[in-house]
Structure 1
Amino acid sequence: MAPVAVSRTQEATAPAAAPAEPKQSLSDLPKEALNRVWRGNAEGTIKLDAFPDYWTKTDEESLLKKRQYVKEHLALTFRYWGKMGFNEGAAGHITVRDPILHDHYWMNPFSVHFSSITVSKLVLVTPEGYVHPTLGAQLPINAAGYWIHSAIHKARPEINSIGHCHSVHGKAWSAFGRPVEVTNQDSCLFYDNLAVYKSFGGVVLAGEEGARIAAALGPKNRCAILQNHGLLTLGDTVDEVGYYFALLDKQCHVQLMQEAAEANGIKKNLIDPVDAAFTAATLQHPTAVHFSIKSELDLIAEREPECLK
């Protein structure tokens, strides 16, 4: 079956009516999306910095610090996924681009539980899909992880991180081959940002299936439902990938509950596309997504500091 991309998250059609007017306007808000959602003191001395001061620097010391940061946040994100119950056998993988070797990717080793991932267990994968001979852990990796992720990284060079695993609610909803609907504020994160790959070719053991998934994602979507398979998310950072995935799995759970209620005669209401687009313009900003998961990662770092070693 040929892959089909569905980027609209609203399948239901409303009765014909005059175009809705937005209840709020972006023109009245700060240009920077993150600055719309927090406030400091009147003097302006309270600051909110998303990333360390070395994040955009290119000297060797800064790049080495950034590499360590990326690896730590990859380990923390896996610990978070473990707490969410996303581990399923040997399935599941996250890749994140190395800040120094841009065509290399850090990822988890094969069949190691998400909740036991540490920085020292992370594997650096070469462009050819092999474990780097000197950098990173010398452990095997998931072949499907390479085939899926390498194809998407190639098709979407602006993306630094990709995540996929077989979460329960994601698997359950994926059987319908439908996007989740925008029925609450959090789900606006997926408004015009979600693809459905309407095919299942079995365990991904070759590059062709990875390329078809990449094509179904299209040029802008950062989230996908893989029919009869599970979920997949993309991001500028691994933090973004981790949050997108967890929230999409939760929204699949919400959707399943709503479908059950609707089957018993309780009609659900969809958010108007104008209001969904207004909300998405803030929620989907990469830095805003980063802060959405920050408290979870900070808590894990505080309680499980061994994962940073």
Structure 2
Amino acid sequence: MTGTLSHPVAQERVYRRQRLAAALRLFARYGFDEGAGGHITARDPGDPDRFWINPFAVHFGHIRASDLLLVDADGTVVEGDGRVNPAGFAIHSQIHHARPDVVAVAHAHSTYGRAFATLGVPLAPITQDACAFHGDHAVFDGFDGVVLESEEGRRIAERLGTGKAVILRNHGLLTVGGSVQEAAWWFITMDSSCRVQLLAQAAGTPVPVAPEAAEATARTMGTPEMGRLNFRPLYADIVRAEPDLLD
């Protein structure tokens, strides 16, 4: 099917796959990989009911664009070699279904994201960067073990709502975006913001940004354009350092 699509669609497919591979390499660089856990997906531009995902139990740092798997709505691999992480499909398929505006979904077991998730509270607007999530993320407090059922994925998608991120209590972070670049950047900066808040709380009582200022900052720092802009230098750097990811 993919070989019969129009040229612009084929170009967009290559574009998304290369940035998805780059995002996975960046996650490895940031230490977000944890054994076989973690996954990032990108909706296929030719068939919105299918998405690209990293193969199960392959290190993020080894992923190339050609290694990615195309999965249909039933979880069947229709292009590529490898298996799909069952938890990855259970979560991502439901979010892609519930949010047609979302192109990419990112979830990984980052250290600071997991630590912060144990608190069961939203990220506080205590820094300019954290304000990107002000009023635009939620906490999912229904942890019942490893997510292997579509119903659990549906509940996560429901809790995410129209936001850009959800903190999965006792689990970690999940972010979404209208592009791979956005979803990846929101995850990177959210994990960093979790680290800052944990450090600040360990040192004392953080002073939050005033609500009006937090809202104004969110309108600048939390836009799709800002997500893509911040991902751009990271993409350029990882491609220069590891050009094989584009293969």
2:29 to 83, 88, 100: 83
Partner of 2:180: 238
Give distance in 2, aligned partners of 1:94 and 1:259: 30
Partner of 1:250: 192
Mapping of residues 101-112 of structure 1, within 5 Å: 101-112=47-58
Shift of 1:92: 0.3
Whether the 8 Å contact between 2:49 and 2:97 is mirrored in structure 1 is: no
Q: Give CA deviations for 1:114-136 in whole Å, capped at 9, x if unaligned.
A: 1111011100001111100xx3x
Secondary structure class of the residue paired with 2:167: strand
Q: Give CA deviations for 1:94-114 in whole Å, capped at 9, x if unaligned.
A: 111011122110000001111
Partner of 2:106: 163
Partner of 1:271: 209
Mapping of residues 106-185 of structure 1, within 5 Å: 106-132=52-78, 135=79, 137-185=80-128
TM-score, scaled relative to structure 2: 0.96
1:99 to 20, 34, 45: 45
Letter in 2 for 1:86: F
Give distance in 1, aligned partners of 2:73 and 2:97: 10
Shift of 1:182: 0.5
CA RMSD after TM alignment: 1.0
Mapping of residues 8-27 of structure 1, within 5 Å: none
Letter in 2 for 1:103: D
Give distance in 2, aligned partners of 1:182 and 1:282: 14
Consecutive unaligned residues of structure 1, counting only runs of 5 or more, are 1-58
Whether the 8 Å contact between 2:37 and 2:108 is mirrored in structure 1 is: yes
| Structure 1 residue runs of 4 or more that deviate by more than 4 Å after TM superposition | none
Shift of 1:191: 0.5
Secondary structure class of the residue paired with 2:139: strand
Secondary structure class of the residue paired with 1:80: helix
Partner of 1:35: none
Q: Give CA deviations for 1:191-239 in whole Å, capped at 9, x if unaligned.
A: 1011000121101111111011111112x21111100000000000111
Kindly tell me the number of residue pairs found equivalent between the two proteins. 243
Secondary structure class of the residue paired with 2:66: helix
Give distance in 2, aligned partners of 1:155 and 1:253: 30
Q: Does 1:211 align with 2:149?
A: no
Q: Which has the higher contact order (CA 8 A, sep 6+)?
A: 1
Shift of 1:285: 1.5
Give distance in 1, aligned partners of 2:34 and 2:206: 32
Q: Does 1:189 align with 2:132?
A: yes
Consecutive unaligned residues of structure 2, counting only runs of 5 or more, are none
Q: Does 1:289 align with 2:231?
A: no
Q: Give CA deviations for 1:41-64 in whole Å, capped at 9, x if unaligned.
A: xxxxxxxxxxxxxxxxxx811111
1:62 to 8, 12, 15: 8
Letter in 2 for 1:285: T
Partner of 1:303: 241
Secondary structure class of the residue paired with 1:277: helix
Whether the 8 Å contact between 2:139 and 2:167 is mirrored in structure 1 is: yes
Name whichever of 228-237 and 149-158 sits farther off.
149-158
More helix by share: 2
Shift of 1:282: 1.8
TM-score, scaled relative to structure 1: 0.77
Identity %: 40
Give distance in 1, aligned partners of 2:42 and 2:16: 8
Partner of 2:165: 223
Q: Does 1:74 align with 2:16?
A: no
Q: Give CA deviations for 1:51-106 in whole Å, capped at 9, x if unaligned.
A: xxxxxxxx811111110000000000001101000000111001110111221100
Shift of 1:268: 2.1
Letter in 2 for 1:92: G
